């Protein structure tokens, strides 16, 4: 069978299984050994070398899903992104990075880069022109995130890749929000794709992991730094992640369909003043999202009308949990002004479009009618307070 042409759910289910040669079991055996034979072997295996049997095989699934030659799995999304950055940036180099970015990545850049003498510029906006304006003669890498957190802005992936290639600059993307189910940036010319696998790849809010997919040449460079930094993932969690990823296509497609229905419903709701979701036509980059995404994802944000208290709204939800993180099969909400953007002043938040009324919604696999009922009952309760 030609493994090149397998479809999404077949890749999720079968690629990267560790064959059980001994007992012919249907699922991958878990190899927990942290010590392997080194005499007369082709590969010297060790967990921190990212090459135990479970690590090596799961990497193949991630590479196949991202249409990449190779991939690596890490102990967290931050281990993945920090190792990737440090593999391609050194003293005197410059990184151009999108201004709307996951807060942990922003902190990493601001707190660690000065120690290494790496320069960086956050763009003013997210158009290709904003990225071009930020380039310098020593720029080595452009890093983007689309859809972005929490306002779901969409960056033109192909335009950024083209701009970077014309100047021999590498590109990387945080593809966590879309997941490989909804977006494959390597097909659009991006060099390296990273994920917080804690999110859609894990999908059950019980795994912390990360991944990078790219060409074999780039992965070798990342591996060389990764073995020094030591951010590998334990084999028990690798095994759990493999199991989770078997259903990723099914889960994320169901979540994406639910998100579209919820976005349309919320947009028509009298107590919701604004919805941010790239799949609705009122989104400023709807056409761009349609052209570069296979589905619009399962993350959206909305604003409650001014008469409603966003804290009380979350307190009164019965089914949807107010919860950090995202992308589990269960729906969750979060207030960006109380969490990811709490350290900004109200004026700074207003400048980036994050109001106290904004709720970020990670849509799960529940029945949509139940999610609607939950939101309606919470709004009813707090309207009477």
Nearer to ligand PLP, 152 or 304 (CB): 152
Residue 22 CB, nearest approach to ligand PLP (Å): 34
Q: Exactly one of 36, 46, 48, 294 is catalytic; which is it?
A: 48
Residues 299, 128, 158, CA angle at the centre, nearest 5°? 70
- For residues 233 and 270, the answer to whether their CB atoms sit within 8 Å is no
Read out DSSP for 309-348? -HHHHHHH-SSSEE-SS--SSS-EEE-GGGTTTTTS-HHH
Instruction: Identify which of residues 75 and 353 has a Cβ nearer to ligand PLP in the complex.
Output: 75
The residue assigned the tokens 């850049």 is: 109
The distance of closest approach from Cβ of residue 369 to ligand PLP in the complex, given in angstroms and rounded to an integer, is 28
- Which one-letter DSSP state was computed for residue 283? S
Applying CB under 6 A, the residues found at the interface with ligand PLP are 76-78, 102, 104, 149, 174, 176-177, 196, 198, 208, 210, 325
The helix (H) or strand (E) run that includes residue 253 is helix 248-267
Nearer to ligand PLP, 64 or 173 (CB): 173
Q: Concatenate the DSSP letters of all residues of 208-233 into one string.
A: --EEEEE-HHHHHHHHHHHHHHT---
CA gap 165, 25 in Å, rounded: 46
Q: Let me know: does 136 contact 94? Beta carbons within 8 Å.
A: yes
State yes or no: is 174 an active-site residue: yes
Closer by beta carbon to ligand PLP, 58 or else 78: 78
Could you tell me which residues are beta bridge partners of residue 214? 70
Q: Which is nearer to ligand PLP, 237 or 314 (CB)?
A: 237
Nearest one of 137, 138, 134 to 123, comparing CA atoms: 134
What's the closest the beta carbon of residue 382 comes to ligand PLP, in angstroms? 28
Q: At its nearest, how many Å lie between ligand PLP and the CB of residue 140?
A: 21
The neighbour count for residue 319, using CB atoms within 10 Å, is 15
Q: Out of 70, 93, 156, 174, which one is annotated catalytic? A: 174
**Contact call for residues 375 and 362 (beta carbons, < 8 A):** no
| Nearer Cβ to ligand PLP (53/278) | 278
Pairing of strands 210-214, 70-74: antiparallel
Instruction: Give the nearer residue to ligand PLP in terms of CB position, either 84 or 320.
Output: 84
Q: Which residue is nearest to ligand PLP (CB)?
A: 77
Active-site choice (102, 120, 200, 276): 102
The active-site residue, picked from 61, 140, 199, 349, is 199
222, 73 contact by CB (below 8 A): no
- Site of tokens 């009813």: 380
Sign, CA dihedral 230-236-238-244, equals negative
Report, in angstroms and rounded to the nearest whole number, the Rg of the chain calculated over CA atoms.
21
Q: How far is the CB of 328 from ligand PLP (least distance, A)?
A: 12
Does 48 qualify as catalytic in the annotation? yes
Minimal distance in Å, beta carbon 150 to ligand PLP? 10
Catalytic residue ranges: 48, 102, 174, 199
């Amino acid at each position: 069978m030609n493994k090149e042409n397998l479809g999404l759910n077949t890749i999720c289910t079968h690629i990267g299984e560790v064959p059980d040669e001994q007992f012919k079991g249907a699922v991958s055996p878990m190899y927990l050994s942290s010590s392997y034979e080194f005499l007369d072997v082709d590969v010297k295996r060790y967990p921190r070398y990212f090459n135990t049997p479970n690590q090596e095989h799961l990497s193949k699934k991630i590479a196949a899903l991202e249409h990449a030659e190779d991939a690596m799995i890490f102990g967290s999304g931050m281990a993945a992104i920090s190792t990737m950055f440090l593999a391609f940036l050194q003293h005197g180099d410059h990184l151009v990075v999108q201004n709307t970015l996951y807060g942990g990545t922003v902190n990493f850049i601001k707190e660690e880069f000065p120690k290494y003498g790496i320069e960086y510029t956050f763009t003013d906006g997210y158009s290709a022109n904003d990225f071009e304006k930020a380039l310098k003669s020593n720029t080595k890498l452009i890093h983007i995130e689309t859809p972005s957190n929490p306002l779901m802005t969409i960056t033109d992936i192909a335009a950024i890749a083209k701009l970077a290639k014309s100047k021999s600059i590498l590109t990387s993307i945080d593809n966590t929000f879309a997941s490989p189910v909804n977006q494959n940036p390597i097909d659009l010319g991006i060099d390296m794709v990273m994920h917080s696998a804690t999110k859609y790849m894990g999908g059950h809010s019980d795994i912390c992991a990360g991944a990078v997919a790219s060409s074999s040449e780039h992965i070798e460079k990342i591996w060389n730094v990764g073995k020094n930094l030591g951010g590998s993932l334990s084999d028990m969690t690798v095994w759990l992640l493999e199991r989770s990823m078997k259903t990723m296509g099914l889960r994320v497609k169901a979540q994406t369909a639910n998100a579209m229905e919820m976005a349309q419903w919320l947009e028509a709701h009298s107590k919701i003043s604004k919805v941010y979701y790239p799949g609705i036509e009122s989104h400023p980059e709807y056409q761009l999202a349609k052209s570069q995404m296979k589905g619009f994802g399962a993350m959206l944000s909305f604003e409650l009308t001014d008469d409603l208290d966003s804290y009380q709204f979350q307190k009164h939800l019965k089914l949807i949990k107010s919860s950090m993180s995202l992308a589990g099969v269960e729906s969750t909400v979060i207030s960006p002004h109380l969490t990811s953007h709490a350290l900004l002043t109200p004026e700074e938040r207003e400048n980036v479009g994050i109001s106290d009324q904004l709720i970020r919604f990670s849509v799960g696999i529940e029945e949509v009618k139940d999610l609607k009922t939950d939101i309606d009952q919470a709004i009813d309760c707090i309207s009477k307070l």
